[in-house]
Copies of this chain bind each other. A is one copy, B any other.
Amino acid sequence: MNNNVDLSVNIAGLKLKNPVIAASGTFGFGREYAEYMDLNKLGGISVKGLTLKPRQGNKPPRIAETPAGILNSVGLQNPGVEAFIKEEIPFLRQYNLGIIANIAGNTIEDYCEMAEILGDADIDAIELNVSCPNVKAGGIAFGTSCAGISEITKRVKAYCKKPLIVKLTPNVTDIKETAKAAEDSGADAVSLINTILGMAIDIHRRKPILANNMGGLSGPAVKPVAVRMVYEVSKTVKIPVIGMGGITTGEDAIEFLLAGAAAVMVGTANFVNPAACLDVIHGMEAYLRQYHIGCVSEIVGKLELNQ
């Protein structure tokens, strides 16, 4: 058996030793998971969505379980971009992994200011969260129209010294169009999918379970939708695609790579299994070994359609 599977990837300049990234909002700033795994093993981490100022987020309950999935409405609770730079980057930099700053704002100016502030910070990429369904202003409002995506991507790009990843929402009629808008406006990569807007009802209280009423669906349930969208987008844009949505195992991740993702993110699965990211890496490696594939990038987009 060949032990030298090359898992390294280069996503628009973001170099990772393997294509598995902890998804934003599900992994905090990595601290908590350091108890359960060697963070050095991770390809990267996309940190909890940052805003210009600290945010407290939405009222609890912020989570509801649904069949094979969860709804969340955290609403971007975070310490703000300054605290992130001061307290979290130094912690994360002890480890050998890519650091992606996931940013969200109420206004385009917020996003630009954050990109500027992060310009001198020791991060490896910025992920533009224009797809959070859990905040009133900003977030998803930018992400559902091509015009919204275009404007915000162009303006943030001007301040951005690192690879700019635009995170797309699945809550659109045609994700190929929003992906194209991101590409045309200067995005270095796109990541998808963010959560699908959903609702769960407590039939005894006759109220939504989430205090915020609606939330974003993630977890295994969304995987087929995510794979489809990753396929559509990767056939549409030339920039790299980072795929996510329901990934729990190496096999799941391989589906996304075949569909065209250059790297993947693992979210909800971390809650069930704190070592999920490592399991995904190992499963991926086992698959590549089984088929004597020396380099993970060889299978990216290698899906063949049925005629």
Contacts and interface: CB of A to CB of B under 8 A. Distances in A.
Contact of A228 (B145, B197, B212, B287): B197
A69 B68 contact: yes
- The winner among A144, A199, A213 for most chain B CB atoms within 10 A is A199
A91 to B, nearest CB: 34
A165 B173 CA distance: 22
Interface stretch (A44-52, A101-109, A215-223): A215-223
Given A173-B171, A173-B172, A303-B206, A201 B67 contact: no
A230 to B, nearest CB: 9
Nearest to A133: B228
Q: How large is the interface on A (under 10, 10 to 19, 20 to 34, 35 or more residues)?
A: 35 or more
A141 B144 CA distance: 20
A173 B133 CA distance: 12
A199 B259 contact: yes
A246 interface: yes
A231 B68 contact: no
A298 to B, nearest CB: 12
Interface in A168-219: 171-174, 196-201, 203, 206-208, 210-214, 217, 219
A57 interface: no
A306 B219 CA distance: 25
A304 interface: yes
Interface stretch (A1-9, A10-18, A33-41, A250-258): A250-258
Contacts of A145: 173
A100 interface: no
Contacts of A199: 224, 227-228, 231, 259
A302 B212 CA distance: 17
- The winner among A231, A254, A303, A305 for most chain B CB atoms within 10 A is A303
A240 B172 CA distance: 25
B228 A198 contact: yes
Contact of A203 (B198, B258, B306): B258
B287 A203 contact: yes
B305 A207 contact: yes
Contacts of A225: 196-198, 217
Nearest to A214: B228
Interface in A36-78: 59, 64, 66-69, 71
Interface in A234-260: 246, 251, 254-255, 258-259
A221 B304 contact: no
List the 6 closest pairs (A to B, CB-CB), nearest first: A198-B224, A67-B220, A68-B68, A221-B221, A199-B228, A67-B68
